[in-house]
Amino acid sequence: MLLLGVDFETTGLDVEKDLIIEVGAVLWDTTREVPIKFISGFVKHPGLTEIKPEITELTGIDFDLIDDHVKDCFQSALEDFCGMTSEAHYLVAHNARGFDKPMLESHMKRHVENGFIGFPDYSKFKWIDTRTDVPYPKSITTRNLKYLLAEHGIINPFSHRALTDALCMMTLLAKYDINEVIKISQTPNLKVRAMVSYDDRQKAKDRSYHWDQKSSAWFKLIKKTSLEEEEKLCSFQIKVIEEIAP
């Protein structure tokens, strides 16, 4: 089986407005448990002349770096990526349903008018989310990729760079039974909200809930089958906001 591990660095977290500025993808052979093909490249956008300082601080990517190494706007890195997706049985990302999948779909739709045509319909692809679909032992409570890698003895030399994040993520996934992971991935997901006050926000953080600035609330994606366990483990009330199809 071939899996395509995917990671994007972006100008921000708003899937409706922000842009993909780096693509990293690893085509992974699950039988041999090795990578067989790589893609790594920046994406240049017309009209984008600067990268926010907080993004540069996190990723090391600034506008000059992109401008020095990319001549044509958006075509090359995304075209190569689209070509590789046709070889994969599943796409894999960490927080796929919460970020990478909607970011990819939105990004492609918004840029058709700028000349990028002929891309696949990514809404129809099957995804594996290493944040929610891997049966991590109960002793590992973190779902932060950096800390998950550390828990499994994997060192990422360039954290928050697309290719190394994707490669380390696939190395992590290879430590688990892929058939069990696929089975979990095919069960529905729930978007749940942590009903905490400002003073109790650390409790939500400790359970890996993420702050959503638009709605001013803490959210988390979990498997539908994990709802009862999540309710027991939380020291605060939670509310199901949405059910998301696999």
> Is the separation of the CB atoms in 40 and 51 below 8 Å?
no
∠ Cα 122 72 89 (to 5°):
25
pLDDT digits (tens, 9 = 90+) for 66-108: 989 887 765 567 778 888 888 999 999 999 988 999 998 888 7
Report the amino acid identity of residue 174.
A
* Cα–Cα separations (whole angstroms), residue 7 to 151, 161, 167, 188, 202: 20, 8, 9, 23, 28
The pTM (predicted TM-score) of the whole model is: 0.88
Q: What is the CATH number of domain 2-185?
A: 3.30.420.10
Contacts of 108 (CB under 8 A, 6+ apart): 116, 119, 122
Nearest to 138 by CA among 240, 205, 226, 237: 226
> Is the separation of the CB atoms in 41 and 20 below 8 Å?
no
pLDDT, residue 121, reads: 67
CB-neighbour burial class of residue 134 (10 A; exposed 0-12, middle 13-18, buried 19+): buried
Contacts of 140 (CB under 8 A, 6+ apart): 148, 151
**Strand pairing class (127-129; 90-93):** parallel
Q: What is the mean pLDDT of each run of 10 residues along the chain (246 residues)?
A: 96 90 96 94 86 94 91 71 88 94 85 61 83 94 93 94 97 97 94 95 91 90 92 95 87
Nearest to 160 by CA among 61, 62, 65, 15: 61
* Cα–Cα separations (whole angstroms), residue 212 to 62, 81, 189, 194: 25, 29, 18, 11
The SS3 assignment for 75 reads helix
Per-domain residue ranges of the chain: 2-185, 189-244
pLDDT, residue 197, reads: 94
pLDDT, residue 106, reads: 86
